């Protein structure tokens, strides 16, 4: 059996043919680049692109235990074939990849990936651009992408923690607020159960030198007594100390204790926390960790009854209000959200906020992380 060094040498000696398409390792993979790729006359270039970027296996060993030779690609048949004349085993290119159970073409999946990552288009537009006739197929793929980025974030819980100190030792501003996603309009009509979300986002002033992309957390707090919305799982297992309602154990009230528990879990020590003047935020500066050590938060408030930006301190919560607008925009355009899907949509918003600078490249990274070929 050839060792790993021999495999690497063989691949280096016989690399995939060089195609005229951009590499994801370069910056700014654009819509023009995508259509340049998918409009090629056959799938050879796309398969090479997927192998180059880790979405399909680059080197396949024969699946038969006694053989284990390096298989040869047959792009015209979407498969690998063993060169051993006595074996001749065949393995599809899709085996073990996230394409494995799909009947869509590589082109259609790549188009869906790019359009979803960049938040382009309605259902009708996605059907036109990709040539996919089934609404259910597109809905399933969008759900698959949301689950992929959710698992990517959960596997990196530190990416959900916000604030702390910048490289110069100054506190990073974190704006914290709560918002209801489901409620009756004007308190009329049929009764609906409210879903409250607590969110926090980093804010860097306009004069901050080279600010990083702000991080965002969203946590489902007060929810359905039936437990349809998985409470606290948004915190990726980090939110501890929540106290449920005495009557409904699946409901976590929008109380001061629970707000402090979320802040303690997801806002790093030393942060400057900006909120409105709701009484539930009182005492943030006195929050301690599990060992009783002060978290060192600096708490500033803005009284919205008087002004939206405090004229004396400049404190405001406009960044988190903008995050609510973006999170609810999809809810309006798609006529609501099933409660069982709220969690995945909030993860989608957190992922777009943190990784939206190069969304297609970062979606590929998340897929590679979950489907190692």
Q: Cα torsion at 108, 110, 116, 119 (round to 10°)?
A: -110
For 305-354, the pLDDT digits (tens) are 999 999 999 999 999 999 988 887 776 666 566 666 777 888 888 999 88
User: How would you classify residue 369: left for phi > 0, otherwise alpha for psi between -120 and 50, otherwise beta?
Assistant: alpha
Report how far apart, in Å, the C-alpha atoms of 261 and of each of 97, 215, 232, 321 are: 39, 19, 11, 21
The pLDDT score that the predictor gives to residue 331 is 65
Quick one: tokens of 246?
């005495």
Q: Name residue 199's beta-bridge partners.
A: 177, 218
Q: Cα torsion at 37, 41, 47, 50 (round to 10°)?
A: 10
Quick one: tokens of 63?
């699946």
The percent of the chain in helix, strand and coil, each rounded to the nearest 5, is 40, 15, 50
pLDDT for residue 207 is more than 70: yes
Residue with tokens 């974190």: 174
For 76-129, the pLDDT digits (tens) are 888 899 998 888 899 999 988 889 888 899 999 999 999 999 888 788 888 988
Residue with tokens 């918002």: 179
Q: In whole angstroms, what is the distance from residue 305 CA to residue 321 CA?
A: 16
pLDDT for residue 47 is more than 80: yes
Report how far apart, in Å, the C-alpha atoms of 269 and of each of 107, 239, 266, 302, 315 are: 46, 15, 9, 21, 20
Residues 6+ apart with CB under 8 A from 87: 62, 64, 67, 69
The pLDDT score that the predictor gives to residue 284 is 95
Q: In whole angstroms, what is the distance from residue 120 CA to residue 135 CA?
A: 16
Q: Name residue 175's beta-bridge partners.
A: 201, 274
User: HSE (CB half, 13 Å, CA atoms) of 366?
Assistant: 28
The pLDDT score that the predictor gives to residue 11 is 43
Task: Report angle CA 220, 182, 112 to the nearest 5 degrees.
Answer: 75
Quick one: tokens of 175?
């704006």
Please return the burial class of 14, using the count of CB atoms within 10 Å of its CB with bins 0-12, 13-18 and 19+.
exposed
| Cβ atoms of 81 and 88 closer than 8 Å | yes
Quick one: tokens of 252?
């976590």
Task: Report angle CA 56, 59, 61 to the nearest 5 degrees.
Answer: 115
| Cβ atoms of 118 and 359 closer than 8 Å | yes
Range of lowest pLDDT (151-165, 175-189, 247-261, 328-342): 328-342
The pLDDT score that the predictor gives to residue 232 is 46
pLDDT band at 269 (very low <50, low <70, confident <90, very high): very high
pLDDT band at 238 (very low <50, low <70, confident <90, very high): low
Q: What is the rounded radius of gyration, in angstroms, for the C-alpha atoms of the chain?
A: 25
Q: In whole angstroms, what is the distance from residue 208 CA to residue 18 CA?
A: 43
User: HSE (CB half, 13 Å, CA atoms) of 155?
Assistant: 10
For 137-160, the pLDDT digits (tens) are 999 999 999 999 988 988 887 888
Residues 6+ apart with CB under 8 A from 56: 47, 50, 93, 94, 97, 99, 373
pLDDT for residue 292 is more than 70: yes
Comparing C-alpha atoms, which of 164, 149, 265 is closest to residue 214?
164
Q: Is the overall model pTM greater than 0.75, yes or no?
A: yes
Q: In whole angstroms, what is the distance from residue 278 CA to residue 93 CA?
A: 57
DSSP state of 70: B
pLDDT band at 183 (very low <50, low <70, confident <90, very high): low
């Amino acid at each position: 059996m050839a060792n790993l060094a021999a495999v690497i040498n063989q691949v280096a000696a016989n690399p995939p043919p060089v195609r005229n398409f951009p590499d994801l390792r370069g910056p700014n993979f654009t819509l023009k680049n995508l259509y340049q790729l998918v409009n090629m006359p056959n799938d050879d270039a796309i398969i090479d692109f997927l192998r180059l970027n880790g979405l399909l296996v680059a080197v396949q060993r024969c699946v038969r235990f006694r053989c284990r030779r390096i298989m040869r690609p047959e792009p015209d048949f979407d498969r690998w074939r063993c060169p051993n004349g006595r074996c001749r085993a065949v393995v599809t290119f899709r085996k073990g990849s996230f394409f494995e159970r799909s009947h869509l073409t590589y082109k259609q999946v790549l188009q869906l990936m790019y359009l979803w990552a960049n938040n382009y288009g309605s259902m009708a537009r996605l059907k036109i651009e990709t040539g996919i006739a089934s609404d259910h197929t597109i809905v399933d793929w969008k759900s698959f992408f949301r689950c992929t980025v959710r698992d990517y974030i959960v596997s990196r819980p530190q990416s959900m923690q916000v604030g702390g100190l910048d490289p110069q030792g100054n506190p990073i501003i974190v704006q914290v607020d709560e918002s209801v996603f489901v409620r009756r309009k004007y308190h009329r009509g049929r009764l609906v159960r409210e879903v409250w979300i607590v969110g926090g986002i980093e804010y860097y002033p306009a004069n901050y030198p080279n600010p990083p992309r702000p991080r965002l957390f969203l946590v489902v707090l007060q929810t359905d007594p039936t437990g349809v919305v998985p409470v606290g799982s948004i915190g990726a297992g980090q939110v501890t100390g929540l106290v449920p309602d005495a009557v409904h154990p699946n409901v976590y009230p929008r109380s001061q204790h629970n707000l402090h528990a979320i802040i303690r879990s997801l806002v790093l020590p030393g942060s400057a926390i900006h909120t409105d003047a709701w009484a539930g935020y009182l005492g943030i500066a006195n929050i301690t960790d599990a060992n009783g050590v002060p978290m060192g938060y600096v708490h500033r408030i803005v009284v919205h009854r008087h002004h939206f930006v405090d004229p004396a301190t400049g404190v405001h919560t406009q960044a988190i209000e903008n995050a609510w607008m973006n999170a609810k925009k999809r809810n309006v355009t798609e006529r609501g959200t099933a409660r069982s899907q709220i969690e995945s949509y909030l993860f989608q918003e957190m992922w777009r906020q943190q990784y939206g600078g190069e969304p297609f490249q970062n979606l590929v990274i998340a897929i590679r992380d979950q489907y190692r070929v």
